Amino acid sequence: MISTAFVKGFTLCLSLIVAIGPQNAFILRAGTSRRYAFLAAWISASCDLLLTALGAFGLGALLAQNPIWVSAARWVGAMYLFYLGGRMVVQAVQEASRKSGLGVVLVPRTAAHAVRLALGFALLNPHVYLDTVGLMGAASARCAAPARMLFVAGAAAASLLWFNFLVVVGVLVSKWLESPSVRRWFDCGVGLILFGSAIWLISN
């Protein structure tokens, strides 16, 4: 049934994005800052929609035939995550920046900065291409054309719901992060997530 395709797209997408990864860490950190967080969430969800649609209509098969593209993206994405992770850890141990309330690595300063960060986390992470394009594309290929569109719509709805949920969670815990020591540990934890994601990318 066509309605079943929507539910399948929704549940599969949600199962892939709920794990704590670099993109989720960024959206959560943006939420704690209350600066352009919803814009970042919408950009992230829009990228998921675009990649899922591309996977559903042929890009997944193209990537499967050209693994060197995925390998190159893996290294570029890993270097990007190492860079951001290093900046997060350095920021976390700098008492001067803590006292002045500066937490700028993953905090959007302007709308344009929010868009750049969101696009970077969405498009420089090969995990997105393997899962969103590859796996989601393969799953949607089992649906007929009309149902495939609803599969993509279901995935887009799950992505939009999840990223906006993370923003709300970030806003709710922002008061807790007003303590410099708590914020320092939080930022250090985010940095370690970025490091772990980078290591995972180059080791798989």
Across 89-93, 103-107, 117-121, which has the greatest mean pLDDT? Answer: 117-121
pLDDT above 60 (res 111): yes
Q: Which of 42-46, 108-112, 148-152 has the lowest mean pLDDT?
A: 148-152
Domain boundaries, the chain: 2-203
pLDDT given for residue 199 in this prediction: 79
pLDDT given for residue 75 in this prediction: 75
Token couple for 111: 């709308």
Q: Which of 60-64, 105-109, 188-192 has the lowest mean pLDDT?
A: 60-64
| CA 15 – CA 154 distance, rounded (Å) | 13
Look-up of token digits 């042929």: 58
Kindly give the residue spans of alpha helices, DSSP state H, lying in 66-179.
Answer: 67-93, 95-99, 111-123, 126-128, 136-140, 145-173
pLDDT given for residue 163 in this prediction: 93
pLDDT above 70 (res 17): yes
Span 155-177, average pLDDT = 88
User: What does pLDDT average to over the chain?
Assistant: 76
Look-up of token digits 């995935």: 155
pLDDT above 90 (res 4): no
pTM above 0.75, yes or no: no
Span 173-194, average pLDDT = 75
| CA 78 – CA 194 distance, rounded (Å) | 9
Across 41-45, 62-66, 109-113, which has the greatest mean pLDDT? Answer: 41-45
| CA 22 – CA 84 distance, rounded (Å) | 10
Confidence of residue 101 (pLDDT cuts 50, 70, 90): very low
pLDDT given for residue 70 in this prediction: 61
pLDDT given for residue 100 in this prediction: 43
